[in-house]
Amino acid sequence: RAKQDGRNNYAFYTQSLTYESVAHLKLQSALHDALAQEAFYLVYQPKVDCKTKALSGFEALLRWNDPLLGSISPAIFIPVAEKIGLIQEIGRWVLQQACEQGVSWLAEGKDFGRIAVNVAGPQLQRRTFVNEVADVLKATGLPANRLELEVTESCMMSDPESVGRDLILLADMGIVLSIDDFGTGYSSLNYLKKLPINKLKIDQGFVRDIPEDANNTAIAKAVIALGRSLNLKVIAEGVETPEQAMFFADNGCDEAQGYLFSKPKAASELEHFFEVPYCV
């Protein structure tokens, strides 16, 4: 009997392992088809000026609706796409799509400020990345100063010299460079003075429970002060409450982004943000 139980347990164990690896394989193979199946689309989340609450830009965020697997979060599939070497192709599609959206807003006389695109580590580490960005800007006609690229600390640290050179080229083109999830990666602060970074995005983990959380409040104030003294803009992400918005406005943060203002939405659902003068 004990033996039987043991066997059953063993069977159960391998079954669950198999289930997980099959799920992972399904995810990988679905990802391979996603571009061709047109299963990706972008949503856009407004960023606003902390003081005036006027629209300052949009962040483009990738969505994937697989016909069989359903909606899968980018927090899950982006790391998989990085691992299986698909992120370059997907990232280029995102960039192209976001720039096209920017151009069509401009053509409609809608001033969106800047459009921000997230860049994954392996994209930035490719030698061809700068050319790719230049190509997309040229092909779509989006002015470079309308584009913002969000990079993370860790994606700069893997090959700081060559990534640094590329960031300088991108900045020279007029593109705005932001550090996403600032404070959560392993990095030296040295790059902030060496590289043409324009903006720090305070990670939403530090925005949570402000102003009640004394630690987060202290960290947020310190990041704003750091930005000030290095002449960088600072934006708070994941702002969900009026209290948080007030805190960032009162403490000299430049921009804010979060569900309080709007969830990420399809471009067609964002029309009201262009009513001038727009205020939240």
Can you give the binding site for Mg ion, defined by CB under 5 A? 118, 150, 180-181, 237
Please report how close the Cβ of residue 132 comes to ligand C2E at its closest, in angstroms: 14
Question: Does residue 49 bind ligand C2E (CB under 6 A)?
Answer: no
3-state secondary structure of 266: coil
Interface size with ligand C2E, residues (CB under 6 A): 23
Q: Are 168 and 191 in contact (CB under 8 A)?
A: no
d(CA 207, CA 237): 7
Please tell me whether residue 259 binds ligand C2E under the rule CB under 6 A. yes
Q: In the set 62, 99, 149, 224, which binds ligand C2E (CB under 6 A)? A: 62
What does the per-residue mask of binding to ligand C2E show for 198-237, with x meaning CB under 6 A?
------x--------------------------------x
Total Cβ atoms within 10 A of residue 29: 11
CA-closest candidate to residue 145, choices 167, 118, 173: 173
Considering only 49, 148, 153, 181, the residue that binds ligand C2E (CB under 6 A) is 181
Site for ligand C2E in 143-162 (CB under 6 A): 150
Can residue 94 be called a binding residue for ligand C2E (CB under 6 A)?
yes
Task: Select from 16-24, 112-120, 136-144, 215-223 the region that touches ligand C2E (CB under 6 A).
Answer: 112-120
Pairing outcome for strands 70-72 and 55-66: antiparallel
> Is residue 240 involved in binding ligand C2E (CB under 6 A)?
yes
In what helix (H) or strand (E) does residue 166 lie, and over which residues does it extend? helix 160-173
Please report, for residues 30, 65, 215, the alpha-carbon distance to residue 74 in angstroms, rounded to integers and kept in the order given: 14, 11, 29
In angstroms, the CA 36 to CA 29 distance is 12
| β-pair partners for 233 | 199
* Strands 114-118 and 55-66, bridge-based pairing: parallel
Nearer to ligand C2E, 98 or 232 (CB): 98
Q: Which residue ranges make up the site for ligand C2E (CB under 6 A)?
A: 45, 61-62, 73-75, 78, 91, 94, 118-120, 150, 180-181, 204, 237-240, 258-259, 264
